[in-house]
Structure 1
Amino acid sequence: MAAQGIADAVQAYTGLSPAAAFTVLALMLATYLIVSTLFVAPDAAASAPAAHPKPPQQQEQGTEAEAEPEPFVPPFPDPVQVGEITLEQLRAYDGKDTAKSILIAIRGQVYDVSRGRLFYGPQGPYSLFAGRDASRALALMSFDLNDLTGDLEGLSPDELEVLQDWEEKFKERYPVVGHLPCEKATAGAQPDHEEEKA
């Protein structure tokens, strides 16, 4: 009886049959779980396997089970202050050299985004921004090589607000390790995409 009342309430509230409503709910939960695992901090992901107890068969085997290799987690260098850095020097920090940090400039501030190597490294979806001034591209939410510049001239207030949101996210997640010279951080900076044509 209670189950029928719940089924009637679900149908009245959602306009779907109970089976369809619960299927949609299950899909939403699965999607949430999958998407939320993409945003786990690298430190939490690295420590997660250690938090799980060993299966009983591994506990019985003792030292033999301990010899299993750990999953490979690519190391990233500790943030190093670079001070004032030119756009040309910044290009060397694009993530292709794993011994170097991955740096991105926004509004003249240089951020070490090495912790986000999965996003900004050579195979990442935002690798285009690595080693560049991404101010205009982030404001426009653009992957156009011509927008990889610090030139903010002609941007609308909404676009500048988008850039401000990106800048706040970077400040929360990544350390500032340097800055661009004043003349490069303002309007008039040219895109530095000549090497991409090669």
Structure 2
Amino acid sequence: MAVQLWETLKEAIVAYTGLTPATFFTLLALLLAVYYVVSGLFGSSPDHHRRRHIEEEEIPPLRPPVQLGEITAEELKAYDGSDPEKPLLMAIKGQIYDVSQSRMFYGPGGPYALFAGKDASRALAKMSFEEKDLTGDVSGLGPFELDALQDWEYKFMSKYVKVGTVKSEVPVTKPESTGEPSESTPRDVDAAKPTEDGPSGIAAAKSDEIPSKVDADKE
């Protein structure tokens, strides 16, 4: 009976698939193997759900951005990601943005971590990772570098929230004043006094030197 069923099955496989029984069962085994592999990768086993739930609990939710107003470059360094209680900030062209949502890039250990807590305008324009370029000074940059910096600014404006500005540290020069009265030189004092040889003095001298017309007639 079993032999007859096997013979009938082989004839059916050949008739409906056009394959030999050996080829048919080989393909069937491969399909089953692929099915188990795919279900293992994308399956929803209880352990998978439990592990994902634990990972979500370990990642703290992002806090809403806090407006800081105007701060100095030195104060900005405190927001480089080293303190998990503080937001992760970065500035470009003097504008400070909250990049906490991209901590994997700008946070500690990230590929752009050295930009965090700084105005990295020059470094972004030049795509430089050198310490000397981690500044907001963009003087001397070429047109292509300025265009690249502009693209970075557009990206930050569209993706992150602006939370403040970097205070300019350019010193304001004032005229020096000692508060003491200036000393006048003797020449200045003499110049300030009314001269005795002024118009009236000259006229008096001339009147003494030139004889009057009356005296001339007497002679």
Measure how far apart 1:73 and its partner are.
2.2
Measure how far apart 1:180 and its partner are.
1.0
Instruction: Quickly say closer, same or farther: Cα 1:67–1:155, change in 2 above 3 A.
Output: closer
Structure 2 residue 57 is matched with structure 1 residue 70: no
- The number of residue pairs the alignment matches comes to 126
Match of 1:104 in 2: 90
Measure how far apart 1:181 and its partner are.
1.7
Using the alignment, how far apart are the partners of 2:148 and 2:50 within structure 1? 49
List runs of 5+ in structure 2 lacking aligned partners: 1-41, 171-219
Match of 1:168 in 2: 154
SS at match of 2:152: helix
1:153 to 132, 136, 139: 139
TM-score, with normalisation over the residues of structure 2? 0.53
Is the Cα contact below 8 Å between 1:103 and 1:114 reproduced in 2?
yes
RMSD: 2.3
Match of 2:125 in 1: 139
Structure 2 residue 78 is matched with structure 1 residue 92: yes
Is the Cα contact below 8 Å between 1:77 and 1:99 reproduced in 2?
no
Is the Cα contact below 8 Å between 1:113 and 1:174 reproduced in 2?
yes
Higher relative contact order by CA 8 Å / sep ≥ 6: 1 or 2? Answer: 1
Identical positions, percent: 55
- Cα shift readout 1:156-196 (whole Å, capped 9, x = no counterpart): 01100000000111111100000012446xxxxxxxxxxxx
Using the alignment, how far apart are the partners of 2:134 and 2:72 within structure 1? 14
Using the alignment, how far apart are the partners of 1:157 and 1:76 within structure 2? 37
1:128 to 89, 114, 138: 114
- Cα shift readout 1:37-87 (whole Å, capped 9, x = no counterpart): xxxxxxxxxxxxxxxx983x64xxxxxx77984313243332100000100
What residue identity is the alignment partner of 1:70?
A: I
Is the Cα contact below 8 Å between 1:76 and 1:98 reproduced in 2?
no
What residue identity is the alignment partner of 1:158?
A: F
Using the alignment, how far apart are the partners of 1:151 and 1:121 within structure 2? 23
Measure how far apart 1:100 and its partner are.
0.4
TM-score, with normalisation over the residues of structure 1? 0.58
Structure number with greater Rg is: 2
List runs of 5+ in structure 1 lacking aligned partners: 1-52, 59-64, 185-198
Instruction: Quickly say closer, same or farther: Cα 1:162–1:66, change in 2 above 3 A.
Output: closer
- Cα shift readout 1:98-147 (whole Å, capped 9, x = no counterpart): 11001111101000000000000011000000000100000000000000
